[in-house]
A = this chain, B = another copy of it.
Amino acid sequence: MASKDGQNDTEVSALNEEIQSFFKSAPPLRNKTEITTKLKDFVLQHSSNLGNGRATRVVCVTSGGTTVPLEQRCVRYIDNFSSGHRGAASTEYFLKAGYAVIFLCRRGTCQPYCRSLPDDPFLECFEFTDDSQIRVLEPHSEAVKKAISDHRIAVEKGQLLKLPFTTIFEYLQMLLLIAASVGRLGQHMMFYLAAAVSDFYVPWNSMAEHKIQSGSGPLDMRLVQVPKMLAVLRKEWAPLAFCVSFKLETDTMILLEKASAALHKYGMHAVVANELLTRKEEVVVVMSNENVPVHRDKTDASSDVEDPLIKLLVDKHRAHIADSA
Contact = CB atoms under 8 A, between A and B. Distances in A.
A248 to B, nearest CB: 7
B81 A79 contact: no
A222 interface: yes
B127 A152 contact: yes
Interface in A209-247: 209-212, 214-215, 217-225
Contacts of A215: 225
A81 B166 CA distance: 12
Nearest to A224: B218
B123 A145 contact: no
A138 to B, nearest CB: 13
Interface in A184-201: 196, 198-200
A75 B196 contact: yes
Chain A interface residue count: which class? 35 or more
Interface in A72-91: 73-81
A73 B214 contact: no
Contacts of A276: 73, 75, 211
Given A71-B250, A73-B277, A218-B224, A128 B114 contact: no
Interface of A: 67, 70-71, 73-81, 107-108, 111, 114, 117, 119-123, 125-128, 132, 134-136, 144-145, 147-149, 151-152, 164, 196, 198-200, 209-212, 214-215, 217-225, 248-251, 276-277
13 contacts: A75-B250, A76-B80, A121-B122, A128-B145, A128-B149, A134-B136, A134-B148, A199-B214, A200-B214, A210-B250, A211-B249, A218-B224, A218-B225
